[in-house]
């Protein structure tokens, strides 16, 4: 029973897509918490189900409709169940979702989820509201303060949102809107609050996080490097990461921060998409392969043990065998510790969607070769950790009894079987073994 005497309703949120959706899902739970909802991790128990969706590739977007198919029987069993679509598919498709999926009661875009309590009330009044505005007001100013519950040792914090880059293949500038940066004092307050609740590692999020230029307390715009250095001053915060960066926004000061800020972890996700200058130009990435390689050199000069991660697209319209070999050569030149690679997916409304595509079997073959190379690099970089001592932030018990799992500075998952390992502690571990997706070791 809540204070007002009504039984709390239950909310189930399923999250797709990127880390920003993970952050947004927490904010949505808080917004609806103010309207009497508590979260559940069982869809069967829910009075409200929200799917926080991703539109980045066709497969991701189509998942929404297959999930709605699976939810149909739940709605048949419980006519009071409400189903909402949030996130980037909601933004991209809006009303169309209501037409295509009669089980859906509400549609809310990524910039208006602070209005969820009002939308939920409209649903209970028998409407099927759609809110995909890009409002004047800032959603971050409208969300209720979080109840001061204990948190897991790692957390995301959105500092920048939206994108003005308009890469020719990408929906994000349309689904998330123009770039905005949150003010420094708000971010510092949110970071301190997280740390007081047990968080030891914060990952600063943005679709173009290194384009961050938020209003500082001194009346000037602060860069991401400046924000990171300020956050590093928070006692109890042990680690800072940021993602995702664009190569063109990697300024000198941010590179310097990798050298002078020990709390900034030696891991960087820096997508390049292709190693061919012709394709980079067609993608509107606005830099050459050579520029990226020089940038990596400067980053490694600042932080020699930096582990690099990237994103790649194969089969972008017009990609020839020679273009693809340029990508393979760039990967060989960089040496990635981690990477994501995708087949190009034509997205409605993007410039590249109009262009003639590469044959599917050619894309398949290229993706296989690229993934084999990336997997081999990842394996080698993991193997190289064996025998070394690393710092591990323990996050949760492992699958085997007595085991704990955490992440190293380089974001490798590390297993340790030792009762002294505690969740939330950073401890020194000697790596003894490398498996496919994780390392294991012993406390030093
Ligand atoms: N803001 C980030 C990326 C966001 S999307 C950046 O600029 O790097 C995450 C990744 O999805 C991209 O880096 C890209 O590799 C991939 N991606 C985006 N649109 C895609 C499309 N239409 N087809 C295939 N992959 C795509
Ligand atoms: Fe998409 Fe390019 Fe913006 Fe990244 S920089 S979100 S790939 S448009
Ligand atoms: Fe997907 Fe939207 Fe993130 S399209 S990758 S959920 S910004």
Cα–ligand 3 centroid distance for 247 (angstroms): 19
Cα–ligand 1 centroid distance for 207 (angstroms): 10
Domains and CATH numbers, the chain: 9-131 (3.40.50.12160), 140-383 (3.80.30.20), 389-443 (2.40.50.140)
Separation CA 371–CA 56 (nearest Å): 20
Does the beta carbon of 163 sit less than 6 angstroms from any atom of ligand 2?
yes
Separation CA 71–CA 83 (nearest Å): 9
pLDDT of residue 135: 86
Closest to 359 measured CA to CA, from 311, 319, 327, 328 = 319
Atom index in ligand 3 nearest the CA of residue 56 equals 4
Cα–ligand 3 centroid distance for 182 (angstroms): 19
Packing angle of the helix pair 289-302, 252-260 (nearest 10 deg): 30
pLDDT at 247 over 80: yes
**Residue owning the nearest CA to atom 2 of ligand 2:** 167
pLDDT at 431 over 80: yes
Does the beta carbon of 172 sit less than 6 angstroms from any atom of ligand 2?
yes
* Count of H-run helices and E-run strands, the chain: 14, 21
pLDDT of residue 7: 79
Does the beta carbon of 64 sit less than 6 angstroms from any atom of ligand 3?
no
Does the beta carbon of 166 sit less than 6 angstroms from any atom of ligand 2?
yes
Does the beta carbon of 170 sit less than 6 angstroms from any atom of ligand 2?
yes
Atom index in ligand 3 nearest the CA of residue 171 equals 4
Check: CB of residue 390 under 8 Å from CB of residue 372.
Answer: no
Under 8 Å CB-to-CB from 9, ≥6 apart: which residues? 36, 37, 38, 47, 48
Q: What is the DSSP string of 243-291?
A: E---GGG--HHHHHHHHH-TTB-SEEE---B-S-HHHHHHTT--S-HHH
pLDDT at 1 over 60: no
Closest to 189 measured CA to CA, from 136, 140, 130, 244 = 140
* pLDDT tens readout for residues 252-265: 999 999 999 999 99
Closest to 342 measured CA to CA, from 295, 277, 319 = 319
pLDDT at 2 over 70: no
Rg (CA), the chain: 23
Does the beta carbon of 246 sit less than 6 angstroms from any atom of ligand 2?
yes
Atom index in ligand 1 nearest the CA of residue 170 equals 19
Cα–ligand 1 centroid distance for 438 (angstroms): 25
Residue 360, SS3? helix
Check: CB of residue 52 under 8 Å from CB of residue 28.
Answer: yes
* pLDDT tens readout for residues 59-103: 999 999 999 999 999 999 998 999 999 999 999 999 999 999 999
pLDDT at 47 over 60: yes
Does the beta carbon of 208 sit less than 6 angstroms from any atom of ligand 2?
yes
Check: CB of residue 299 under 8 Å from CB of residue 341.
Answer: no
Residue 89, SS3? helix
Does the beta carbon of 393 sit less than 6 angstroms from any atom of ligand 2?
no
Separation CA 216–CA 85 (nearest Å): 35
Separation CA 442–CA 444 (nearest Å): 6
> What residues are paired with 51 via a beta bridge?
14, 85
Under 8 Å CB-to-CB from 187, ≥6 apart: which residues? 157, 159, 214, 227, 231
Does the beta carbon of 18 sit less than 6 angstroms from any atom of ligand 3?
yes
> Token pair of 27, please?
């904010």
The binding-site residues of ligand 1, defined as CB within 6 angstroms of any ligand atom, are 56-57, 169-170, 172, 207-208, 244, 246, 271, 273, 311, 313, 342, 344-345, 347
Please count the other Cβ atoms lying within 10 Å of the Cβ belonging to residue 302: 17
Ligand nearest to the CA of 175: 3
Check: CB of residue 171 under 8 Å from CB of residue 92.
Answer: yes
Does the beta carbon of 167 sit less than 6 angstroms from any atom of ligand 2?
yes
Average pLDDT, the chain: 95
Atom index in ligand 2 nearest the CA of residue 163 equals 3
**Residue owning the nearest CA to atom 4 of ligand 2:** 207
Does the beta carbon of 17 sit less than 6 angstroms from any atom of ligand 3?
yes
> Token pair of 309, please?
């991660």
* pLDDT tens readout for residues 288-310: 999 999 999 999 999 999 999 99
pLDDT at 211 over 70: yes
Ramachandran angles phi, psi of 184, nearest 5°: -60, -45
Check: CB of residue 208 under 8 Å from CB of residue 179.
Answer: yes
């Amino acid at each position: 029973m809540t204070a007002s005497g009504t039984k709390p309703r239950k909310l189930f949120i399923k999250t797709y897509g990127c880390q920003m959706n993970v952050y947004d899902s927490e904010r949505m739970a808080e917004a609806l918490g103010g309207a009497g909802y508590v979260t559940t991790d069982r869809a069967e128990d829910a009075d409200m189900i929200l799917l926080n969706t991703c539109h980045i590739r066709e497969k991701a977007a189509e998942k929404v409709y297959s999930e709605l198919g699976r939810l149909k029987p739940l709605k048949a069993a419980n006519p009071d169940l409400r189903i909402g679509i949030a996130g980037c598919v909601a933004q991209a498709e809006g009303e169309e979702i209501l037409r295509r999926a009669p089980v859906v009661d509400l549609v809310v875009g990524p910039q208006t989820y602070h209005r969820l309590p009002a939308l939920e009330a409209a649903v209970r009044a028998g409407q099927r509201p759609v809110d995909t505005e890009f409002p004047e007001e800032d959603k971050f100013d409208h969300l209720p303060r979080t109840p001061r519950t204990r948190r897991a040792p790692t957390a995301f914090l959105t500092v920048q949102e939206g994108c003005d880059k308009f890469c020719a293949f990408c929906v994000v500038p349309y689904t998330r809107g123009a770039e905005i940066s949150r003010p420094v004092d708000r971010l510092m307050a949110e970071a301190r609050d997280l740390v007081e609740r047990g968080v030891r590692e914060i990952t600063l999020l943005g679709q173009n996080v290194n384009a961050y230029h938020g209003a500082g307390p001194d009346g000037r715009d602060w860069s991401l490097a400046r924000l990171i250095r300020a956050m590093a001053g928070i006692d109890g915060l042990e680690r800072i990461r940021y993602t995702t960066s664009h190569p063109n926004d990697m300024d000198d000061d941010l590179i310097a921060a990798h050298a002078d800020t020990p709390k900034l972890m030696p891991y960087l996700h820096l997508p390049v998409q292709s190693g061919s200058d012709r394709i980079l130009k067609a993608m509107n990435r606005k830099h050459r392969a050579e520029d990226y390689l020089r940038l990596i050199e400067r980053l490694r000069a600042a932080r020699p043990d930096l582990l690099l991660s990237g994103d790649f697209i194969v089969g972008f319209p017009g990609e020839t065998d020679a273009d693809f070999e340029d990508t393979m050569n760039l990967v060989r030149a960089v040496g990635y510790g981690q990477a994501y690679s995708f087949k190009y997916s034509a997205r409605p409304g993007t410039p590249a969607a109009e262009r003639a595509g590469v044959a599917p079997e050619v894309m398949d073959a290229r993706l296989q070769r690229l993934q084999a190379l990336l997997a081999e690099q990842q394996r080698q970089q993991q193997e190289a950790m064996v025998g070394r001592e690393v710092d591990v932030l323990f996050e949760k018990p492992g699958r085997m009894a007595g085991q704990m799992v955490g992440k190293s500075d380089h974001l490798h998952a590390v297993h340790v079987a030792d009762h002294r390992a505690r969740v939330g502690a950073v401890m020194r571990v000697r790596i003894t073994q490398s498996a496919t997706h994780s390392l294991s070791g012993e406390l030093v």
